[in-house]
Amino acid sequence: MRMPRRRTNLLILIITFLIFTDTVSTSSDPCLDSQIEDPSQLHLPSQYANLTPPWQRADGKLAKVSRSEGLTYHWSWMKSLQVKGLSKTVEDIIGFLTDNQCIFVPVGPFVRSVILGKKTVYVSGEVSCQLHQLYDKCVLKFGAAGCSLYPLEDDGGWGAYRMEIGDASSNRSTFTARAEPIVIYEWRSVLGAPLDKWRFTVDTLAMFDDGAGDLFLIDPTGNGYLDVCEKKIAPTAENWDKWGKNQQMKLMGFYDLRSDGFAPKNETLQKFINVKIKSSSDKRVAQQFYCEHVLKGVSNLEGTTPVCHTMYPEKEAARKIGQMRTIMIDEMGTSWNSSIGKAADDLEAVFCTARQYVQIRSRLLHRVPSSNDEKAAVEDPPKLIQNGKPMINDSAQVHARPILNMAAKLPELPVEYPSVPRAQPNEKLEFVEPPELGAGAQDPRAIEILGSRDHPDPWDEVEHQEDREAQEDQETKRTLGGAPAEEEAADFSHHNAVQTNNLPVMRFDKVEEEEVEQISSAMEMSTENAASNWNIYGFLMIFCVFYCLLD
């Protein structure tokens, strides 16, 4: 049985369209278009030939390297974002690093978010140059408020110092996605660390941009890329006891991943982590974790009352906090009340504005002063209202302006100002002060009306005849019945009344990673969505085949 030629052409057209549509829909998903590359064929630029490449581990083995068009697409979007507090994009900052002979390699949880297609605004990576020298150049270029350098404790593989480029206290328009300050670590502080110092496989990933349009994903463990796509949690070493020894902060990071939708790859991993957390007697570590990872603040554990300085959470941030608490309470069981829960109850939260938070954070984390702090060029604050540049830089300045009290006494006018309400404007809109009234004198308005009949009109009688007659008629009506009518008292209250119906809502909050998902939702492309789309396409393809086979 032959199928009509018309239906044959229709079948070919439909199949071609479905295949093309599926290819386009999955081309921006790094979990579906990855290609394995040979790491031995990769080379750093000639000026960095003396460096240990990021795809070489501390034990000399080479990491697993792959290429992805979807990863390149998401990284390009990330580089186009403007850094908070600066008039520069992420790509401009990378260019600044390159101009100072520094190669930048993105590393850490940021890479995991890029693979999943999340619109993250948090960028972190390693640089090949000395941070102290780079810090002085950064302050000279972007100002003291745009650069920070902090000493770090070794809590799982980070370097001795961490540098940030950007100003987190800058309150700009929340309707535009902006990158948070870029976090920079020393070269090989993460990728060159031993396996037992790494955290989880999904957090030990890096990207290498050769500057020629090629982007490579570096997977030191060989399992991190797949674990990210499958959303699985796994340690980076087989010996869990050695991997988690004296690293409570790293173990508690398990619940960070759980709140992001990840599940343990091994069922016994959760029990192992709960036992380790419960056996820990360091209450300060639990309080630091709860403050920094749950409340997204900075902790001050000195003194009798531990304090967590943070910014008041918006709706999405509050939901995230509640979700993470629920997960920890459910999965830790009775261990919650004796470990993290007890430590969190003794922690006092202090809410700050964005600028206050940055100042407190700089003090508590011991920000390193720069030799160029006094030489730094400070940008003048905007004088005009511009897009993304408000005249008020901090919410604390909103109430710095004087507000008139509604019940307060009206301010006295200067002596040279004409008295009110006896002063009347003339034809030139100039105030004319009438003569002072003696005892028993008539009202000045009556004198003005009577006097106008006996003295020549200063106005042009022809040109202003109608205006004069209209004014006389109005004054005559007011004087009917003897004494002139009382004028209504001036209502000054409406001058200070705020009309809120048409005022725009001003926000001074910080853009969180979850809020940016609403700004550019068109970039979201997950593995589950791609798989569901393919199921629909497959069903349509089968239906079309059967339809075309029918007579």
CB distance 391 to 506 below 8 Å: no
Residues 331-363 have pLDDT tens digits of 888 889 888 998 899 999 999 998 899 999 989
Q: CATH for 29-237+372-379+390-397+510-524, among 3.30.460.10, 3.90.1300.10, 1.20.1440.230, 3.40.50.1820?
A: 3.30.460.10
Which pLDDT score is estimated for 339?
A: 87
Burial class of 208 by CB neighbour count within 10 A (0 to 12, 13 to 18, 19+):
buried
Place 2 in a pLDDT band, splitting at 50, 70 and 90: low
Asked if residues 218 and 65 have their Cβ atoms less than 8 Å apart, the reply is yes
Question: What are 192-228's pLDDT values in tens digits?
Answer: 888 888 999 999 999 998 877 789 999 999 999 999 9
**Domain coordinates of the chain in residue numbers?**
1-27+529-551, 29-237+372-379+390-397+510-524, 246-365
Q: What is the pLDDT of residues 150-161, one digit of tens each?
A: 988 654 444 488
pLDDT > 50? residue 384: no
Q: How many C-beta atoms surround the C-beta of residue 302 within 10 A?
A: 10
Average pLDDT of 121-128? 92
Q: What is the pLDDT of residue 424?
A: 54
Q: Strand 182-186 vs strand 124-127: parallel, antiparallel, or unpaired?
A: parallel
Nearest residue to 510 via CA among 281, 326, 357, 340: 357
| pLDDT value for 211 | 76
Token digits of residue 225: 């890329």
pLDDT in tens, 419-470: 444 555 566 555 555 555 444 444 444 444 444 444 454 445 544 556 666 6
Position 32 scores a pLDDT of 87
Kindly state the percentage of the chain with pLDDT values over 90. Answer: 34
Six-digit token string for 425 = 């404007």
pLDDT at 547: 61
CB within 8 A of 550, min separation 6: which ones?
none
Contacts of 287 (CB under 8 A, 6+ apart): 299, 301, 306, 308, 343, 344, 346, 347
pLDDT tens-digit series, residues 529-547 = 444 454 555 556 666 666 6
Residue 239 tokens, joined: 């010996």
Question: What does the alpha-carbon distance between residue 276 and residue 289 come to, in Å, rounded to a whole number?
Answer: 15
| Count of other CB atoms within 10 angstroms of residue 534 | 16
Would you say residue 281 has pLDDT above 80? no
Structure tokens at 125: 């990576």
| Residues 262-266, mean pLDDT to the nearest whole number | 92
Q: Is the pTM of this model over 0.85?
A: no
